[in-house]
Amino acid sequence: MPVTAPPPTAVAAATPVDSAIVRAINRVRRTHGLCSVRFNPGLAGVARAHSVDMLRHNVLSHASFNGSSFTARLSRAGRHRRYGETLAWAPNGAGVTPSVLVQLWMNSAPHRAVLMDGRLRRIGVGSAVGMMGAQAGAAITADWSS
C-alpha cells in the first residue's frame, strides 16, 4: 500500500481528521484550565511531511530519516521560542479515534508534558495513511510551538 498524503508544502490545510485531533486536544487542555491551541498551517506542513517520511522509511521517530532533529524541522515553520512534538501510529481497525489518541498521549508522561505545556499555543497536525511494516494505518505527527 503506497503512502498517501498531500504533497509536502511549506503550509498545509487541516484535514478533517487533523482538525478533529486539534479539537480533542483543546477539549483536554480546557478541562485542565489551559488555553486552546491554534492551528498553524506552517507547522502542519512540517508535521505532514514528517508523517510521510516516517511511513516511507518504516520508522516512528522524532528524528527524520536524514538524521535531522524535530527542532531543525520545526525551524522551517518559523522562529519560535519553544517546541514540542507528539507522534502516534494508529493501526487500521484498532479504534484509534481522535479522542482515544489524545487519551493515549495523556497516559504517556512525555506526551502529556507537551499537551499540558501552557506555553505551547500553536499546533500543526499532519497525518499520512500507509503501511508500517505489514500493518496498514496512519502515522500522526503533532508539532507544537510557543
- More confident: 71 or 26: 26
What average pLDDT does range 40-51 have in this prediction?
93
Nearest to 142 by CA among 90, 103, 87, 101: 87
Strand pairing report for 83-91 and 122-132: unpaired
Dihedral sign (CA 44, 87, 74, 29) = positive
pLDDT at 10: 58
Confidence of residue 104 (pLDDT cuts 50, 70, 90): very high
pLDDT at 106: 99
| Averaged confidence pLDDT in the chain | 90
What average pLDDT does range 31-50 have in this prediction?
95
Nearest to 81 by CA among 71, 95, 67: 71
pLDDT at 74: 79
- More confident: 7 or 67: 67
Question: Is residue 6's pLDDT more than 70?
Answer: no
- What is the domain class of 16-145 according to CATH? alpha beta
Phi and psi (nearest 5°) for 100? -65, -45
Question: Is residue 124's pLDDT more than 50?
Answer: yes
Give the tens place of pLDDT for each residue, 55-101: 999 999 888 888 888 788 877 777 778 999 999 999 998 889 999 99
Q: How far apart are CA 58 and CA 54, in angstroms?
A: 6
